[in-house]
Structures are given as structure tokens and as C-alpha cells.
Amino acid sequence: MLKLNQIKLSQIKLGQVKLSQFTGSRFQLPKYLAGGALITSAMAVNAEDIDEHLSAPDLMPDAATPVVVVTSSRHRKDDALINDFVTIEEIAKVPNSITELLSDTPGLASNGQPGLFQTLNIRGLARQRVHAYVSGMRITSERRAGVAASFIDPLLLSGAEVTQGPASTYYGSGAIAGTIHLQTRQEDAPWMSATHKSDGDEWATAAGTGNDNYAISLAYRTRDNGETVDGAPKNNQFSQHSLNFVRHFELGDYSLDWQLIESAGDDIAKDNSRYPESRITSYPEEKHLLSQLTLSSDADWIARFYFHDQSLITQDIRPQNRINRVTTDSFDLGLSIEDKWDMGDFDGLFGFDFFGRRDVDSDETELDLETQDLTQFNALIEGEENESAIFVTVNRELPSWSIHGGVRTNYQSQKSAISETISDNFVTYFATVKKPIGDWNWSLSYGTGFRFASLSERLFNGTTARGRTIGNPDLKPEESRALDLSTRYQGDNLKIALHWFNTDVDNFIERISIDDDTRSFRNVTNGKLEGWQYEFDYSLSDSVSVSISGQGISGRDNNGNWLADIPAIRHALKVNYQTGKWTTQLSYLHRREKSQFGDGEIALDAADIIDAKVGYKLNQNWRLQFSVENLLDETYYNSADDLGTLAIGRNFGLSISYQ
């Protein structure tokens, strides 16, 4: 049996070490580098995950970009939830946002209006029903469209781990659809990347360095307004910088990691169909400061404390009428403690989570363009939220099958300076049975999820891009029950994953119209979603691999009406070819028409979208890459949002990187 401190960096990069040689299926690594990415003692990993990725050709010495294969999520891969890790190298485009990075992943789709703040849909559920994390830190937002986590440039990420299914037992309120865990890029040597895209004259540069004890990286991205495929102007300009710093300390038997993330965006335009005639919406300023300390000891327990200070200015101009400007500030803090337990043939996790919000303020000014009168008022004053929970999970491995389960009890309170305290509580659980039959691994999962209403949904009273919004303090929590039947096959050259799922959601919290310019929130309906997804990965040779995937989802409320946010059926084909210094990637997506749609949506025509990229390794350190998005200049919408605009046309990109 090897000891962890005997592993050499070269062995990990070459895939010569199988970490499943170590006892225990879940453990903490000391500080090592997998494929050039920093692994800290705070990151929980599974031996089977490491084995799967270390044997992949992406981690061989000729790989173009390092790949991170461990994350800070607390669930074990595929025990109760679908679990995939996506890197920038896996998609046939150079993404300028998190949404672009992940929207082609089976089970996910773009949601809402386009632009930097566009959000993601998981299995037909979106907005506040998807949890977002950055290096283990929970991210929230007062935007009703949901959390975009777009303040971190994709060039500063090693990738993102996506979970699909009711993850509330692991992660609490809001994880009904699943979670997105963004992992920051942390490397032990200098690196840089520079990219230019033709649409909007977009430029992005990033660079970083580090050693065994620290890593630092910085990115800057800017673009002008672009055009739709038919030449119409898009309101999607922005400029943004982001910084990531990590410092690692060894304190005897303890490991301590400190991380600092800073980001600022300016003149972030909101792209929608009302621009520029009736509405010009933008975010003149966005600021974020995050920091966390993570302490662990001998692979047994982890304690994480973090805070997130953020500010967002929203400006809504109605030509010849008025200008509304809302400044929203908040300070979030979190604490989590988790430990492994082991009793005979059973093992699992137990822990405590706390997430709080302080000084959530929304201040609004309204300027009448005709009279020049200026009105000021507070949309939300000193909003405060506290959510605490205890949880436990259990695993039992048997000779021919295994069981996994967990339970979590949650408590939440909310208030503002002018409201009484509102409190909620909820208990959630899951159970999974897994059994191999021949070369196939079958699993059946059942789990519950929930979402407490947000501060804005309950206590906000102000203006958004869609008009005036009035909160509802009497909102009930959303509740979900989900069933997932899946089977997986893993061969030498072939990997297959098939899923069928069914999700019931009670007390959907939706925005409703009171009049032409005023909206509020109510528990309007119950819904039932059903769907399937599949993925086939096949390696034809050492040089050629093919991936085929697809998904289909339907969703209706208890009156038979189509639910909003249900994506169109789609099928995708990806082909990768690598020989010598050349790498080529081709992606083809067929999206079927969407004739059934919910409130606030439109029908979608079928679309065929092709992206491609070609990379050439100039030498051991430098790599050049050419890409093209929407190769066929297809006319289509990214989502069914009724205020969305057409996608961009053919978009060329050129990038150079040093590793």
C-alpha cells in the first residue's frame, strides 16, 4: 500500500498511480497536483473518480490543458445523484460565461434571456431551484432569474461539477434540481491565455502562477455590443476582471487553506427584445469579494468558514418616460462542518451547515424624464436571513448490491427592518439502491427536495427589468419528490449512461402579473415533470473518440398547463480527433421544435447548431487554437423566454495559451 506522501507529481500526470489503492472510498488528500491543478486537503475525493480520470488521454503529457478531477462536493459520485465534471477542453467553443461552458451538458440547457447573466436549467427546473457553489462557497443573488455566478471568468476555472437530482439533503434549500460546483484553476507554474472573438470584438486575457504553497490568477474580459444572426443589434457589451488567490499552510497534523476571490464588472448590458425602443436595461456596476478558510485534519473532518460581499446596480431606462436605478448590497456568510463516520459495515457523513445573509439592501431612485423629478425610496431595508441544518448520510456495501441514504433537518428565518420575522422548517431525505446485473450497473433513487422563498420573493418592493415587483411574505416552501431509474455500462472503449426521471413539485413559487406594470409572487400551482437522458462515449482508437447524448423533458401543472422552463428535446454528437500536435473537435446539436410552452415563453423552431475548433501545439509550452461557433449561421433562439433575442451568427475565435 502506497502512502500519500510517496506520490510524485509526474506519476499523477502520467496516470501511473491509482488512488483506489488507498483504504477508504472517501478521503482527503494532502496538497498534490493532478494534471496541473491544485488539490487541497479540504477537497473530498473518491478513489473511483480519480481512477476514471487518471486513465483518460486528457491527462497524458501531450494534453493541451490540465484537467481537474477532484472537487469540494460532499456526495459520492453517482451514489444518489448524476455527477459529471466538465472542463473547457470538452466543448467545441471558447466559452465567455459559465452558461456557455455547461449548457450542452446532458440534462442542462440555457434558461432566460441571453447575455452574461443568463442562467442554467437542470432537468426542466431553473432559477432559484439550482444551487451554485464556487470552491465550496454557496452563492446567492437577489436576481429573480437565478444565480449566474458569472463574476468568475471561465479562464480562471479548471471546470465545473454538475449534479442532477434532488440534492437538498446534501446542500439545503434551493437544490431541488441539482447543483453546480465551480472549481477555480490553481496551478504550480506560470500559465497564460489570450482569446479574441469576432462577435462584439471580444477580448479575454488571463494569467497565473504558483508553487506548492500558493496559486494566483487574474483575468480580464471586454466586449462591445454584437449582432444577432440576422444583423440586429444585441445589447450584450460588458467589461470584467476577476482575481483568484489561494494560500496553503501545513500546521502539524492540520491543513489550512485560505482563498480570496475578487471581481468587478462595468457596463454589463441586458440583452432583450425591448432594446432599444421601449426598454434599455443594464448593470452599470457589479462587485464581488469572497474569502474562505478551510481547516481539515488527517482526512477525518473538514470545517469551512466563508463570506461573500456583493453589490449590483440595475438601471432600467424607458425612453421618453423615466429612469429607474436600483442598488442592491448584501453580505453572506457560511459555516460548514462535516466528518466521516464508520460503524461496522456502515459508513457515511454527518455535519452541520449554517448560511446567513446580512444587510441585504435595495435602494431605488426614479427620474421622471419629462419633469426631471427625482424620487428615492428603499425596496428592501436591512434584510436578514439565517438557515441552519444538520445532516447525516449512510452507505452500506453488500456483495451484490449497495444502499445509500441520508436525512437533513433545516430551519430558516427571515426579516427586514420593517417586517416581522418569518420562519420555516423542513426535513428532506433520499434513498438509493444500486445493483450490478452482468456488465450493467442499475440504480433506483428516490429523494425529496425543498426551497424556502427568497428574501426578494417575500420582502422586496421595487423595480426590475420587467417592471415593479412586490414581495409576498406568506409564501410557502416549494417541495419536491423525485424518482430516478438509471443504468450504466463501462467497458474498455465504451461507456453508456441511461436515465429516466420523474419529479413532482408542490407550491411552485412563480411571479404573477397584478397589472400591466406590477408583479408579485404566489404559490400558484403544483407540477409534474418527466424525462429521459442518455450518453454514449466510444473510443474508436487512440486518436478518435465519439460522444452521443440527448434529453427530453415534459412538464405540466395540475391543471394540464405546460410549465415554464421546460427545454426542447435535443440530441448531440461530438467527435474528437488527436494526432501528433493537432487536435480537432466537432460538435453538432439538433434541437427539435418546441410547440408547447409556459407563461412568459414563446414557441421555438427546430435548429441545427455546429461548433468546431482546431488546436495546434507549437512546442512543449505554447498552443494555438482556432474556433467557430454556429458554423451554419443558423437562425435560432437560445431559450424560449419571450423577451429573448436571436442568437449570434457565425462567430470566429482565436486563442493562444502557455502552460
- Residues 286-299, buried b or exposed e (16+ Cβ, 10 A)? bbbbbbbebbbbeb
Ramachandran region of residue 618, left (φ > 0), alpha (ψ -120 to 50) or beta?
alpha
What is the distance, to the nearest Å, from the Cα of residue 336 to the centroid of all Cα atoms in its chain?
A: 20
pLDDT at 224: 96
Number of C-beta neighbours around residue 343 at 10 A: 8
Which residue intervals of 244-342 are DSSP H helices? Answer: none
The topology under which CATH files domain 71-658 is Maltoporin; Chain A (2.40.170)
Report whether pLDDT(470) > 80.
yes
Residue 240 CA to residue 286 CA, distance in Å, equals 9
Report whether pLDDT(32) > 70.
no
Count of residues making up the chain? 659
The widest CA-to-CA distance across the chain, in whole angstroms, is: 80
Range among 54-58, 302-306, 397-401 with highest mean pLDDT value: 302-306
pLDDT at 98: 83
235 vs 14: which has the higher pLDDT: 235
Averaged pLDDT score across all residues of the chain? 85
Q: Residue 520: what are its φ and ψ, rounded to 5°?
A: -145, -170
When pLDDT is averaged across residues 137-149 and rounded to a whole number, the result is: 81
Residue 471 CA to residue 511 CA, distance in Å, equals 10
When pLDDT is averaged across residues 117-141 and rounded to a whole number, the result is: 90
Residue 152 CA to residue 61 CA, distance in Å, equals 28
Report whether pLDDT(421) > 50.
yes
354 vs 168: which has the higher pLDDT: 354
Q: Closest by alpha carbon to 522, among 488, 472, 481? A: 472
Q: Residue 148: what are its φ and ψ, rounded to 5°?
A: -95, -25
Residue 605 CA to residue 346 CA, distance in Å, equals 52
pLDDT at 14: 31
When pLDDT is averaged across residues 54-65 and rounded to a whole number, the result is: 38
Q: 386 in helix, strand or coil?
A: strand
Per-residue pLDDT tens digits for 260-303: 999 999 999 999 888 888 889 999 999 999 999 999 987 678 99
Strands (E) across 471-606 are located at: 478-490, 494-515, 518-539, 544-557, 570-579, 582-591
Residue 306 CA to residue 333 CA, distance in Å, equals 6
pTM, two decimals, is 0.88
pLDDT at 10: 33
Contact (Cβ atoms closer than 8 angstroms) between residue 510 and residue 125? no
pLDDT at 9: 35
Residue 163 CA to residue 161 CA, distance in Å, equals 7
When pLDDT is averaged across residues 523-545 and rounded to a whole number, the result is: 94
Alpha-carbon distances of 220 from 157, 241, 282, 308, rounded to whole Å = 13, 4, 20, 21
pLDDT band with cut points at 50, 70 and 90 for residue 52 = very low
pLDDT band with cut points at 50, 70 and 90 for residue 107 = confident
The torsion of the CA quartet 557, 561, 566, 572, rounded to 10 degrees, works out to 120
Rg (CA), the chain: 24
Contact (Cβ atoms closer than 8 angstroms) between residue 101 and residue 160? yes
pLDDT at 11: 32
Contact (Cβ atoms closer than 8 angstroms) between residue 160 and residue 183? yes
Strand bridging mode 467-470 / 518-539: parallel
Report whether pLDDT(362) > 70.
yes
Q: Closest by alpha carbon to 139, among 265, 307, 378? A: 307
Residue 160 CA to residue 98 CA, distance in Å, equals 9
pLDDT at 404: 93
pLDDT band with cut points at 50, 70 and 90 for residue 378 = confident
Number of C-beta neighbours around residue 542 at 10 A: 10
pLDDT band with cut points at 50, 70 and 90 for residue 119 = confident
Q: Where are the domains of the chain?
A: 71-658
pLDDT at 73: 64
When pLDDT is averaged across residues 21-48 and rounded to a whole number, the result is: 34
The angle subtended at Cα 591 by Cα 585 and Cα 592, nearest 5°, is 155
pLDDT at 256: 95
pLDDT at 604: 95
pLDDT band with cut points at 50, 70 and 90 for residue 519 = confident
Alpha-carbon distances of 395 from 92, 162, 406, 557, rounded to whole Å = 38, 22, 9, 35
pLDDT band with cut points at 50, 70 and 90 for residue 320 = confident
Number of C-beta neighbours around residue 250 at 10 A: 13
Strand bridging mode 494-515 / 478-490: antiparallel
Beta-carbon contacts of residue 508 (< 8 Å; ≥ 6 apart): 478, 523, 524, 525, 526, 527, 557, 563
Report whether pLDDT(330) > 50.
yes
Report whether pLDDT(8) > 50.
no
When pLDDT is averaged across residues 318-347 and rounded to a whole number, the result is: 93
pLDDT band with cut points at 50, 70 and 90 for residue 467 = low
pLDDT at 5: 35
Residue 447 CA to residue 169 CA, distance in Å, equals 8
When mean pLDDT is compared across 92-96, 218-222, 472-476, the lowest value belongs to: 92-96
Per-residue pLDDT tens digits for 169-190: 999 998 999 999 999 988 889 9
Q: What is the percent of the chain with per-residue pLDDT over 70, rounded to a whole number? A: 87
When mean pLDDT is compared across 111-120, 130-139, 218-227, 390-399, the lowest value belongs to: 111-120
When mean pLDDT is compared across 30-44, 195-209, 501-515, 587-601, the lowest value belongs to: 30-44
pLDDT at 13: 31
When mean pLDDT is compared across 23-37, 184-198, 332-346, the lowest value belongs to: 23-37
When mean pLDDT is compared across 170-179, 352-361, 528-537, the lowest value belongs to: 170-179
Beta-carbon contacts of residue 394 (< 8 Å; ≥ 6 apart): 346, 347, 348, 403, 404, 405, 406
Residue 597 CA to residue 567 CA, distance in Å, equals 9
Cell of 658: 502557455
